[in-house]
Amino acid sequence: MDSIRTANFNYFIGTKVGTCTIMKELGRGAMGVVYTAYQGSLKRLVAIKILPKEFVSDVLSPERFRQEAETAAYLTHPNIVPIYEIGETDDFYYIIMQLVRGKSLGIILSNMKKHPVPSKRIMPFKDSIKLIINVLDALGFAHREGTIHQDIKPDNILIEEKTKRAMITDFGIARLSRGENLPVKRGVVVGTPIYMAPEQAAGKETDGRADIYSVGVLLFLMVAGGLPVRPETGTQTVIRKITNPDSFFLKRPSQVNPNINPEMEMIIFKAIASHPDLRFQNCQEFIDALKKYYINYISNQETWF
């Protein structure tokens, strides 16, 4: 049987979902397939994420799909993708949300690596810091509202083309302090191993510092242009993060990109510390460190924040 990542879902094109008509596929992941749709009642384009019923499982459950929608809908923030509606048809469960006109950070970084000019293959520090602060601002709000995202990675961050604003999506495996969390089958780790905090890999209870670790890995990737890690399987990475997390990165950030100074390196190291007590203790601490770096090393004139 095909996985949700490889199955052919072209037959959903043209399907009516309420007042929406599915038009074309935008992308897919482990938790569903996302399409552009036209909402005739309001004459606008929206995004619709679907979970085909044939792929429902312990991890891909209707309850988890609903929790994702309800969690994101509860979190009203300019850097979190808004949810409009949830429901189901005979064939699939669906979430209708704002269509972000732009690309995922994953696609942007991948395209940059292909640039013929080496200096253009890494996002400028100025832009990286702005995007990371957007992400941290949204996560700080979510944490205060009792939600831990637990899957921050480039593919779950959308960048608006015109405003360059970062918007977080996919709260499918979020941990909630309010209400009841959905159980995970024993021995199953949910999340993306490379960006996952060691305590999450170990199946321990997480808090906002797990998201801070993920954002630290993301910052490392953006300013270094790549992550110096072994070519391991996801399972091997999870085991390493449980048993020897300090061995995960093979080089310091400055060894990957010599333009990274000691101050930026220390910010990254603090964010990705193996033990949560050694990290930034909340998103605002992380933001303050980045703002101070920005003023000291990039521009003390610009006051965009």
Q: What is the pLDDT of residues 242-291, one digit of tens each?
A: 999 999 999 999 999 999 999 999 999 999 999 999 999 999 999 999 99
pLDDT of amino acid 181: 53
Please report whether residue 173 resides in a domain: yes
User: Do 48 and 134 reside in the same domain of the chain?
Assistant: no
Q: Residues in the chain, how many?
A: 305
CB of 253 closer than 8 Å to CB of 268: yes
242 and 159, same structural domain? yes
If one compares 282 and 56, the residue with the highest pLDDT of the two is 282
pTM of model > 0.75: yes
- The question of whether 277 is a catalytic residue gets the answer no
Q: Is the pLDDT of residue 111 over 80?
A: yes
- Residue 305: inside a domain: no
Gap between the Cα atoms of 212 and 140, Å rounded: 10
pLDDT above 50 (res 182): no
Structure token digits, residue 228: 């110096």
Residue 191 binned pLDDT confidence (cut-offs 50, 70, 90): confident
In a domain? residue 302: no
Q: Based on the number of CB atoms within 10 Å of its own CB, is 253 exposed (0-12), middle (13-18) or buried (19 or more)?
A: buried
Mean pLDDT across 299-305: 68
- Residue 108 within a domain: yes
- 70, 98, 126: which is the final residue of a domain? 98
Instruction: Tell me if 265 is assigned to some domain.
Output: yes
Q: What are phi and psi of 294, to 5 degrees?
A: -60, -45
Classify strands 32-39 and 83-88 as parallel, antiparallel or unpaired.
unpaired
Shared domain check, 88 and 117: no
**Residue where a domain stops, chosen among 98, 133, 165:** 98
pLDDT tens-digit map of 130-145: 999 999 999 999 999 9
In total, how many domains does the chain have?
Answer: 2
Residue 292 within a domain:
yes
- Catalytic-role residue among 90, 91, 137, 151: 151
Task: Give the structural domain span for 171.
Answer: 102-297
Element (H, E) at 288: helix 283-297
Indicate if 52 and 133 belong to the same structural domain.
no
Residue 179's CB is within 10 A of a number of other CB atoms, namely 11
Among 44, 78, 98, identify where a domain stops: 98
Q: What is the mean pLDDT of residues 181-201?
A: 76
Average pLDDT of the residues of the chain: 91
CATH number of the domain residue 252 falls in: 1.10.510.10
Cα separations in angstroms, 140 against 134, 157, 211, 295, 296: 10, 15, 10, 22, 24
Residue 24 has pLDDT above 90, yes or no: yes
Residues 192 and 169 in one domain: yes
